[in-house]
Each structure stands twice: as C-alpha cells, then as structure tokens.
Amino acid sequence: MSLVLRAWPRPDRGALFVVSGASGTGKTTLVREALRRMPGLGFSVSATTRAPRAGEQEGRDYHFVDAVTFQGMVDRGALLEWAQVYGNRYGTPRQPVTDAIERGDSILLDIDVQGARQVRAALPEAVSIFLLPPDLQTIEARLRSRSTDDEATIQRRMAETRQQLQGAAEADYVVVNDDLESAHDQLQAILVAELCRRSRHASLVARFAG
C-alpha cells in the first residue's frame, strides 16, 4: 500500500487514536509517518511543568505551565491523562482533542500503557492501537546493540518491557513492527478503516438515502 492519501469525505465526527506499546517498538517513527500520510489527522500538544528547552516553542512542542496551573487542570478534569516523569508532570489537555473530534478532525496520541488506560476511561470511544515487536529477542538485541547499559540494566528494562506488553490485551488493534514498511501499512489501514465507518458519515449517507 504505502500511499499518501490526498483527500476523502470528511467525517461528521473525527476519531481519537491512542497508540501505545513497549519501549523499542518504534512508536515515534510510525506515528510521525502516519501524521505525514493521513489527511485530517493531528497530534495533540501536551502540557508540561518542565521548562522549555532550546528551540522549543509554546503551543508547538508543549504547553508550558507552572505546577499550580497543572494541578488546577488535574483537579477540574481538564486532562485526558497525565503522569509524572523525572520530577516533571506531563498531560494531554482534553478540550483541544474534543474540539478537533467535534469538527471532524482526528487526533493521534503516542502515550504509554498507563496513559492509554486513563484516556479510555475518560473517552471510551477512543480507538486503541498497540505496537508489538516480532519477539522479545528483537527488543533485547536492540538494547544490547546500544552498548551503553550493563547487564543488570538490560535485565531491568526487559522486565519492564514484558510488563508493558501486557497492555496489548486491552487494545482494539495490534500492529506487529517486524518490517517497518509493513507496520506503516498496518497502522494506516486501521486509521482508514476507522475513519470510513458509516457511523462517522451520517450526513453523507443521508444524502443518498432518499
């Protein structure tokens, strides 16, 4: 397949796609390619309490907020999901996502298993996609090829990977990233199929229903 789609009927209501998977399964690469190929598909800009890094722009890379503002967003349910990482907090603002869906656009989230669970609890209609490696040996080989981690670190990371992979049982779809181009095609097929559902095109169907 491997096509860049140019245009299609705009759905009445878009979709929220949640892509998750264990570290090393290629989430970032696949998500970036899907955003390049798919019309009407956007990426949610997260909020964070960490300071901007060189070259980062407010509203493009992150929404930079202080700790009090972030806590306020948590308290009033303004985040679909959030987590604390290395002392900083990160979260997905709810309103931009729901606004995009209502106007017929779709959003792609690249988040971890815990974040995906939070999103599904907040928006049960979200479409969850889990990326799988061809096998655990592939993940271990990637870790060892870095030549930066000692044996204890590798074993700890593998234990974390096994735990993360259990999230596949909760997903609507799974994509096996054995061959990168095949994985691109699998992911694109899922996105296209979901956005072509009749339920998303009620106004289009009504034009031909007599």
Alpha helices, DSSP H only, in the chain?
A: 27-37, 67-75, 94-102, 113-122, 136-145, 151-165, 180-195, 202-207
Q: Is residue 95 part of a domain?
A: yes
Q: Is residue 156 part of a domain?
A: yes
How many Cβ atoms are within 10 Å of 119's Cβ, its own excluded? 23
Which amino acid is located at 127 in the chain? Answer: V
Q: How far apart are CA 20 and CA 114, in angstroms?
A: 9
Which residue, chain included where needed, has tokens 């999230």? 167
Rounded to two decimals, the pTM is 0.87
pLDDT tens-digit profile of 50-93? Answer: 999 999 999 999 999 999 999 999 999 999 999 998 889 999 99
Q: Which residue range forms the structural domain that includes residue 124?
A: 16-205
CB 63 within 8 Å of CB 49: no
Q: Is residue 8 part of a domain?
A: no
pLDDT tens-digit profile of 7-22? Answer: 678 899 999 999 998 8
Ranges of the chain with pLDDT below 70? 1-7, 147, 210
Domain count along the chain:
1
Q: Is residue 10 part of a domain?
A: no
Q: Is residue 68 part of a domain?
A: yes
Q: Is residue 128 part of a domain?
A: yes
Q: Is residue 109 part of a domain?
A: yes
CATH for 199: 3.40.50.300
